[in-house]
Amino acid sequence: MLSQPISVSFDLGGGREVFIETGKLARQADGAVTVRQGNCVILATVVANKEPKEGQDFFPLSVDYQEKFASAGRIPGSFFKREARLNDYEILTSRLIDRALRPLFPEDYLCDVQVLVSLISSDDEVLPDSLACLAASAALAVSDIPVKEIISEVRVGRINGEFIINPTRSQMKASDLEFIIAATEKNLMMVEGEAKECGEADLVKALQLAHDAIRIHIKAQQELRAKKGITTVRDYKKPPSDDAIMEKVNAFAKDRVYEISKKGSSKHERSDAYSALKDELIASLGEEATDLEKKLAKKYYEDLKWEVVRNMMIDDKIRLDGRKLDEVRPLAMETEPLPTPHGSALFTRGETQSLTTVTFGTKLDELLAESAAKSEYSKFILHYNFPPFSTGEVKMMRGVGRREVGHGNLALRSLRQMMPDTSTYAYTVRVVSDILESNGSSSMATVCAGSLALMDAGVPFKKHVSGVAMGLITRADGKYAILTDILGDEDHLGDMDFKVTGTRDGICGVQMDIKVDGLSMEVMMEALEQARKGRLHILDAMYECMPEHRPEVKPHAPRMIKLIIDKEFIGAVIGPGGKVIQEIQRETGATINIEEVGNTGEVSIFSASKESLDKAVTWVKGITATPEVGDVYEGPVKGIKEFGAFVEFMPGKQGLLHISEISWKRLETMDGLFKEGDMVKVKLVGVDPKTGKFKLSRKALMPKPEGGKPQGGGENAEG
């Protein structure tokens, strides 16, 4: 007989009910749940091997979030019409789940664990990524896989000054900040997000509100776990240990590790010294030492380094490269290091270096970001590349990894806050950061180099944005050390690694991974204030290098202008069968794109030549301008009849220059007066109210003969 599903529910606030159910779908997984809010349904499953692989010395956790296109009633746009590799949005969501779950597993648990989270039904207003981690944690909670705690994750937005938990898609369009926050019942675990220059106090308030909401999620998961009857977790094979080997390692290497660590040497010099000491340590074990004993000695050596360096920083206030705890590494930066790109900058901070370029494109170059619920085009693109030579290593180049996607997204979100409004700024902008050296926080170097390169390109970038990576080391006795601008070797030492980007006026981006229990808000505020000072120090140097953006794009960069026209003129600019727009492009050499937006038309004109651009702009403005009676125009003769000439006084608009309006002298014939193509200056003297035809006059621009009646005639002749 089939078992009956078990479910619980809780209120998100505002009458929004969330349901968690297990026992109905995917019952052969170790843990499986569905989370439902409105029409949004997420399926999460978790499976863990019973035994670790032989010789494995790391925790192999894999997390994949995928959106099924059927969930929104769509067919994938790929050639094969099926879901393929994860897109960037799915990778970023997978990272949010992974970073929150990974610290929950015991340090000695080395079995393969696979967490799969799928969107199987979509809701137009519910953002599924804010429920994905809840689903993953609930799947673990109803399994016997050993995890230390239950967690959840929420999104925080702020609309009109009011903080909202898990706002809708519509609400997020008006939000001035967005943070995804994960936490256990007692401790914050992870923060990721962006803001339009919010203050540090605003961030802390968002964290507190999020934590209160998460506790409700956790209570519901605990209730579901109790209903399922999960009271124990499975036993697992512990990795081998040997206290005697650990004591030998400590006795042999502790003092020498301290001496190497406090020298303030460079990355490679320090790495070589650590490696040489490890080789001596292994040799000291003797030839009779087994492979297992050598492996344990290496592990204990790494543990020893971790402990010694942390204590050195807390007790002696000494860092690995000799800096003070709040000191930023030496800075060097320049703009336009490359002559051909539309914008470029080289930013170096210590042993971390980013070479960043900016390229302008048209609307045709926009990036299509496709998900199950929607497809959106983006005019601001940032790509981050991390080649192996940047760390002096040899590795296979297998395409973009999740780390590169995540680091690039943090930089993109930070710089996006200061980009001009895409509704009026015509360019598609691509920023590419190539990391040439790395020893800590290359994503923050990307933010700084990207800001400089955008200003070098002539983008009307409002303010410089800089970023700094911070570390926090705490100890059970209550002592702690906050580190500004951490090194690569310091990155894994901390209890809280966090990156903060922003302008002089506030925070633009945040990424935090918090590993310490009971971190007080007072310590976090102190860390954020130290980060602010580090950010401002870097900004001062950036403004000294490039005080403001260039007034215009470089001579070799393409020009682009966006014109907003009335909707009724779109057809006139395009012409029958595209005749007019094709003629404009052919005659001027410019590229023109027209898009209907609401009751207006957006005309983007793109050209490598300023002369070509100006010519196309004038042409389009002429088509869309409204002729005014009394204004003077100049245009070519388009046709000649016995009663006058037709003159194109504005692009696409012709009027009749009657024979009686050519001269004050009476003319009997049009013979020899004009030929087609002649430029004639005329005045618009009237518009026929019935037909809308334009009446032009040339004689109105000539001096009237003195004395007597003018020699002219016709209906418009003056007596």
- Known binding residues are 491, 497
**CA distances for 633 relative to 566, 618, 684, angstroms:** 22, 13, 8
Residue 417 to residues 198, 414, 561, Cα–Cα distance (Å) = 11, 6, 22
Sheet hosting strand 591-597, strand order edge to edge: 559-566, 600-607, 591-597
Angle at the Cα of 634 from the Cα atoms of 630 and 636, rounded to 5 degrees: 135
The neighbouring-strand residues paired with 374 are none
Tokens 């779908």: give the residue.
Answer: 25
In 420-519, the DSSP E strands lie at: 428-437, 466-474, 480-484, 496-503, 506-514
In angstroms, the CA 273 to CA 664 distance is: 100
Query: What's the Cα-to-Cα distance from 704 to each of 65, 251, 461, 707, rounded to whole Å?
Result: 82, 112, 56, 9
Q: Which residue has the tokens 């943090």?
A: 410
Asked if 487 contacts 442 with a C-beta cutoff of 8 angstroms, the reply is no
Q: Write the CA distances from 383 to 400, 410, 412, 435, 525, integer angstroms.
A: 10, 11, 8, 11, 32
> What spatial distance separates the first Cα and last Cα of the chain, rounded to whole Å?
108
For residues 618 and 634, the answer to whether their CB atoms sit within 8 Å is: no
Indicate if the alpha-carbon torsion angle 484, 489, 491, 492 is positive or negative: negative
28's tokens: 């052969």
Nearest one of 549, 553, 531 to 482, comparing CA atoms: 531
Helices (H) and strands (E) in the chain, counts: 14, 29
The helix (run of H) or strand (run of E) holding residue 463 is none
In this structure, what token pair is assigned to residue 98?
């992974």
Give binding residues for Mg(2+) as ranges.
491, 497
- Report the DSSP beta bridge partners of residue 655: 647, 694
φ and ψ at residue 571, rounded to 5 degrees: -65, -35
Instruction: Judge residue 281's burial from the number of C-beta atoms within 10 Å of its C-beta, 0-12 exposed, 13-18 middle, 19 or more buried.
Output: buried
CA distance 296 to 84: 41
The total number of residues shown for the chain amounts to: 719
Query: In sequence order, what E strands does 259-407 have?
Result: 331-335, 343-349, 352-361, 367-370, 375-378, 380-385
Residue 594: name the closest of 615, 617, 564, 625 by CA. Answer: 564
Residue 699 near residue 664, CB atoms below 8 Å: yes
212: closest CA among 157, 174, 156? Answer: 156
Could you give the residue ranges of the DSSP H alpha helices within 546-668? 570-574, 579-588, 610-624
Torsion angle, alpha carbons of 272, 274, 276, 278, to 10: -150
Instruction: Compute the distance between CA of residue 466 and CA of residue 450 in angstroms, rounded to an integer.
Output: 9
User: Residue 631: helix, strand or coil by DSSP?
Assistant: coil
DSSP of 54-114: TT--S--EEEEEEE-GGGGT----STT-S--S--HHHHHHHHHHHHHHGGGS-TT--S-EE
d(CA 542, CA 545): 5
Distance from C-alpha of 333 to C-alpha of 511, rounded to nearest angstrom: 24
